[in-house]
Structure 1
């Protein structure tokens, strides 16, 4: 008598991140490659959760070099080194950081409101919008706080632009996003990306594919997956 086929272990993954965070783009690409490696053993459902690196930033944004120098006290040499490292990590994972494309950083609150809405629009819609926003900012250097740009991105992933325009023209989902942000801050999340598996296993930072793969396998095999 044949034994029943092994079923993949279901895992919930909350990916806490911001759209203008380069390590979030790297972390997501790395996590998704790890999930491909464990596809027969793990069945993951990713929920994208909001985090704003600069919640007080104005709509017009700031020059990225001036912003990083002011916020982190980095020298020109340090910023160049960091940029080269980020671009190299992205290239290893198949994510393109456009050369000199990202000259400004922006307020991302409205983008997070659209991501919250996209999660209600069916399988894969939130992930598609998340990828499109990351690509628009990091690859193409687009202004992800500009409503016209956001509507273009919404259309590109097949979401209804008229509905998105209604959201952007109102405060809809603002309280939901703020409550989600506050919930993760209360739980101790102060930097991103933060990858939370089944609401209790935390992996911080843009880790290599192997680190995510090992953690996913360990959690799935531990009996602590549900």
Structure 2
């Protein structure tokens, strides 16, 4: 393959299936030796979420009508999948969902420095493993600093909202492409795959793409 496979991933760091799907895809990419470049794009699962966030269990019950038993079963299923992929979900009764508009602005800023992927991974861990409050700009700036980005600059980006328009525009672009749920993975700008597909399915998709690309 002469040029790397372009992979655009539309996702939100509040989405457990986004990190599961990414880890599955990553395994398939590694196993197949596919040269690739990943581009992350913003999507807000809960754009109307208030600044203080909401208890995750309450939120799931309200949004999807799940019973506590169904929610628990779903969490256990996701945890088992994530464990197998080397990612640690640590939900508690107090876990919260957060508004991620500022998170996406920080990711946009990190992308200008070639660090969007690193920050994205750090934010998934901060939210799902460490149960940190991503509604808090100070926490977001801390996470940026922990991967070697400039904390004061991160805080300034969040304070003055300088990338708000760019993020809104990117979100609208993907919505206009028909993306209404995440993860949404677009290969080579034309092949859309939604949801966490599993390592085997991603491996098959990569093989098909390699054949098509010649």
Partners of 2:91 and 2:176 in 1: CA distance: 37
Task: Say whether 1:38 aligns with 2:28.
Answer: no
Matches within 5 A, 1:187-202: 187-202=177-192
Shift of 1:130: 0.4
Q: Find 1:57's aligned residue among 49, 52, 59.
A: 49
Shift of 1:102: 6.1
- SS at the partner of 2:39? strand
Whether contact under 8 Å (1:117, 1:173) holds in the other structure is: yes
Whether contact under 8 Å (1:102, 1:138) holds in the other structure is: no
Shift of 1:210: 1.2
1:83 alignment counterpart = 75
Whether contact under 8 Å (2:57, 2:93) holds in the other structure is: no
Matches within 5 A, 1:1-226: 7=1, 9-39=3-33, 42-100=34-92, 103-122=95-114, 125-223=115-213
Partners of 1:25 and 1:100 in 2: CA distance: 18
Q: Deviations over 1:81-124 (max 9, x none)?
A: 101101011011111001427611000010101111111103xx
Change over 3 Å in CA distance of 1:9–1:214 after alignment to 2:
farther
Compare CA radii of gyration and give the structure with the larger one.
1
Unaligned runs of 5+ in 1: 1-6
Unaligned runs of 5+ in 2: none
Partners of 2:188 and 2:207 in 1: CA distance: 13
CA RMSD of the aligned region, Å? Answer: 1.4
Partners of 2:183 and 2:207 in 1: CA distance: 20
Partners of 1:61 and 1:190 in 2: CA distance: 21
- Higher fraction of helix: 2
| TM-score, normalization by structure 2 | 0.96
Partners of 2:95 and 2:129 in 1: CA distance: 11
Partners of 2:204 and 2:27 in 1: CA distance: 12
